[in-house]
Structure 1
Amino acid sequence: MGIVDDEPAQRLLLAETLNRAGWRTLCGENGYQAVDIASRCNLLLLDVRMPGMSGLEALQQIQQLPAPPVVVLLTAYIDVRDAVAAIRMGAADYLEKPVDLDELLTVIEDALGLGHRDQEVLDLPPGVIAESEALRDLFRQALRVAPTSATVLLTGESGTGKEIFARLIHARSPRSAGPMVTVNMGAVPEHLAESELFGHEKGAFTGADQARPGRFEEADGGTLFLDEIGELVPALQPKLLRVLETGVFRRVGGTADKRADVRVIAATNRNLEEEVAAGRFREDLYYRLNVFPLRIPPLRERREDIIPLAELFLKPWKKRLSPAAARALTAWSWPGNARELRNVVERAAILADGDMILPEDLPDTLRLLPRENVPSESPERPLMEEAQRRAILEALEKTGGNRTKAAQLLGISRRSLIYKLRAYGL
């Protein structure tokens, strides 16, 4: 942990606080030392106003390092322009002097991703974003079903992250040491689907020069993820039902029954109830798959996740979103969900001249879309967002700009408040 401040008493106080919390510290007193220390720490507390090289100038150089640390700015001056400039240049956060020591530890925890004191911490894989309560509740359900042997049916639009949930359930299950085998039923030619799932014997069909195990055999002792299960041809549906009920199947061209100890997780972007009603999907198979259903909401239903996801996708590019670009991303309906969001922000990162993504770096469909005409939007949404914006400003005013206390007043996590501040350009 690095601490750079030109005031000796401030350095000592911060160092003692962090040492008591279990961190080792490196201290410096000017911007030049900050650049040197930055290469040797995970997080740097950096004063803005220092003689010689200022904190902002040092930050600019630090961001050019191959692996820059997380930077939190310290300032005795409530200068919004400095704060905005710092965030744009890559700072994770800033603290006002005199530093509230409780807030200091909270900010460090948030900046390093160590958890939230005012929000339940979910044990999620690295790189998984779940700011919205809808998604957090879904992950809670996934973690609850993971240790069981129940068949899980994941439903949701394309690009919502169904495979992420499947992999999480497998990883947290007693089968985690076994294989996880994935089959996209929509990508398997109809005439090869049975062989793909159950394998075949030599000579079973033209081109079957040797016997080959199917996916059920490969997944023995582990998990089989059947993606796009709604594409399964009707002729195979009774055979899949049999193996789900008994664990028994036969290879194509075979005469002997085989067994596989497999947990099945299925996923689809179709409405299987409608497929059943239309006669395209067996009702008994649907109920056998739908033991534990998980519906993953589209991105437009969990807008709190849009900016955190975008920032995650931008990390390798070392670019940040301007407030106006963040507002444009939040306004869009994302029919392609997280997959579309990733494509958009990575394209913007390539087009952006500097380290800041501006609205003009985004596709025309996003930056020219009036907020009141956002597809699938409630007409009341702009009014709701304006009410949220006013509530945030009032909370900040009541707490003297203390974002930790403002978040507590609003009943949200500090990190959620920071995302909203960015999205609303505050």
Structure 2
Amino acid sequence: MRIAVVDDDPEQRGLLRKALEEAGYEILEGGDGQEAIDLARTSNLDGMVLDGRMPGVDGLQALKTIKSEHPEVVVTLLTAFIDLRDAVAAMKTGASDYLEKPVDLDELTIAMDEALGVCRDETGDTDDEDLAIPRGVIAQSPSTLHAFRLAHRVAASDANILVYGESGTGKEIVARYIHEKSPRKEGPLVTLNCAAFPENLIESILFGHEKGSFTGADSRRQGSFEEASSGTLFLDEIGEMPLALQPKLLRVLEDRRIRRIGGTKDIEVDVRVIAATNRELEKEVEEGRFREDLYYRFNVIAIPLPPLRERREDILLLADRFIGEQGTGDKRFSPAAQRALLNHDWPGNVRELRNVSIRASLMSRGNLILPEDLPESLQSMADSPEPTGGSEKPESMEEIQKQAILKALEETGGNKTQAAQLLKISRRNLIYKLRSYGL
């Protein structure tokens, strides 16, 4: 694939070129915004790495022209200024991502790979078809494997990560997997559920407080950011973070400094942050419930986890794993019990499957788990045929949307911008849905 690297600093350009060439990309170079526009017009580019601030025609101006003339070109914007207004403007104009200078070269490669749909194995070689399943991951559905392969690739980077999916899909498992595969694995993994605490407590839990800073503060207390020092902080259900607290969280992500409640000094923190949500944060932003700049700060790398009903090929693998963890001998599901598991839609996802599997293992009197060992709501499903593509069940809204997206992509030859226009949604919303549905 052909990428243009456009930066007015020749030394920086050289570093970027070397990193991307080592990743297997063909690289062209430019030194200002006008050269970026010219390269897009004449060079049949797949992507571009574009400095946001350059003399003459700057990166944002060039980006606007490039995306209007060549919307298919993937553009990652670089900025030496911690100004998220520029980043937000860039994303609205059509940039696929933005990275701050000095650029982490591994993060740059990951960002371009993700934007261009390139997969790599553990040696860094590109291979879209035959990648090894990450060790310890129980899955065979393409969408699940994609999520864990992406998690494996980004683990070495310190980039912020957003994991999204319905409740019970395993977002914390992915966060733990990333932590254990990262250089921070010897440090702590601290988990905070943003929905579990009232608004008047969560600030203290995140940032800590000094003695006497409020009624009941009888001693100094470290917050989650300090507790996660040299490790990873996992912020579950980030969509529930109080709007009033979001600016303070944003400042910590920018500056890597916190100040305890009642404190007078900033404290440096060395933490990698992974966030998770079961909400569509882009919609939350549009409706004013989540800050746009904080969304883009977290959404550097997004990992989608599909619901279990959309990856039925994982159900029996997971169920066998869960009963095996109980140490109750060589128990297994009978064919009829397997049919019941496969026919259920699992609104509680992997969490529900775990509970059902453990219960069935305990209820079973022999080594064979029968339909009567399952919850009553599943027992009748043992007599139904396994779900197939020709099922007579009414299609879910997700399936209808998925088919509409596939049809739009087919009609536009895979052009996401044109497909989004056909569907009357934003290109970013289309990409979100593609990831959500594992397409």
TM-score between the two structures when normalised by the length of structure 1? 0.59
2:177 is equivalent to residue 177 of structure 1:
no
Give the AA of the match of 2:268: R
- What is residue 251 of structure 1 aligned with on the other side? 260
Instruction: Say if 2:277 is the partner of 1:268.
Output: yes
For 1:338, the equivalent position in structure 2 comes to 350
Paired AA for residue 353 in structure 1 = R
Do the aligned partners of 1:372 and 1:382 also contact (CA within 8 Å) in 2?
no
Whether contact under 8 Å (1:160, 1:337) holds in the other structure is yes
8 Å Cα contact 1:344/1:363 also seen in 2 = yes
Q: Following TM superposition, by how much is the alpha carbon of 1:124 offset from its aligned partner in structure 2, in angstroms?
A: 2.2
Aligned-pair CA distance for 1:302: 0.8
User: 1:300 maps to which residue?
Assistant: 309
Q: Is the 8 A contact 1:331 1:371 kept in 2?
A: no
CA contact (8 A) 1:180 1:224 kept: yes
Shift of 1:370: 8.2
Structure-2 separation of matches of 1:373 and 1:202: 64
Distance 1:355 1:372, change over 3 A: closer
- Residue of structure 2 aligned with 1:325, choices 326, 337, 359: 337
CA contact (8 A) 2:336 2:383 kept: no
Identical pairs, percent: 58
State how many pairs are aligned. Answer: 262
Q: Deviations over 1:78-125 (max 9, x none)?
A: xxxxxxxxxxxxxxxxxxxxxxxxxxxxxxxxxxxxxxxx97433323
Matched, 1:280 2:289: yes
In the other structure, the counterpart of 1:380 is 390
Deviation of 1:379 after TM superposition, in Å, equals 6.7
CA contact (8 A) 1:150 1:263 kept: yes
Pair 370,279 (structure 1): closer, same or farther in 2 beyond 3 Å: farther
Structure 1 position 271, deviation (Å): 1.3
Tell me which of 347, 355, 367 is aligned to 2:367: 355
CA distance, structure 2, for counterparts of residue 331 and residue 263 of structure 1: 40
- Report matched runs for 1:85-164 at 5 Å: 120-125=131-136, 128-164=137-173
Deviation at 1:381, TM superposition (A): 3.5
Measured after TM superposition, the shift of residue 373 of structure 1 is 10
Decide whether aligned partners of structure 1 residues 209 and 183 sit closer, same or farther in structure 2, where only a CA change above 3 A counts.
same
CA shift for structure 1 position 354:
1.5
CA–CA distance in 2 between the matches of 1:382 and 1:372?
12
For each residue in 1:54-84, what CA deviation from the matched residue of structure 2 results, as whole angstroms up to 9, or x when unmatched? xxxxxxxxxxxxxxxxxxxxxxxxxxxxxxx
Q: Secondary structure in 2 aligned to 1:353?
A: coil
Give the SS at the match of 2:279.
coil
Please tell me whether Structure 1 or Structure 2 has the larger radius of gyration of its CA atoms. 1
**Is residue 239 of structure 2 the alignment partner of residue 198 of structure 1?**
no
Letter in 1 for 2:289: R
- Compare 362-371 and 152-161 and name the one that shifted more: 362-371
Residue type of the alignment partner of 1:130: A
Residues 200-222 of structure 1: per-residue CA shift (max 9 Å, x gap): 00101111011111111111211
SS at match of 2:158: coil
Calculate the TM-score normalised by the size of structure 2: 0.57
* AA at the equivalent of 1:344: V
> CA offset at residue 353 of structure 1?
2.3
Against the structure 1 CA distance between its residues 195 and 302, is the aligned structure 2 distance closer, same or farther, given a 3 Å change threshold? same
Distance 1:205 1:266 in 2: 28
User: How many angstroms does 1:261 deviate by?
Assistant: 1.3
| Distance in 1 separating the partners of 2:338 and 2:269 | 49
Asked if the contact 2:179/2:232 (under 8 Å) is kept, the reply is yes
**Is the 1:371–1:382 Cα contact (8 Å) retained in structure 2?**
no
* CA RMSD between the two structures: 2.2
Maintained 8 Å contact 1:183/1:227: yes
- In the alignment, the residues of structure 2 paired with residue 157 and residue 350 of structure 1 have an alpha-carbon distance, to the nearest angstrom, of 28
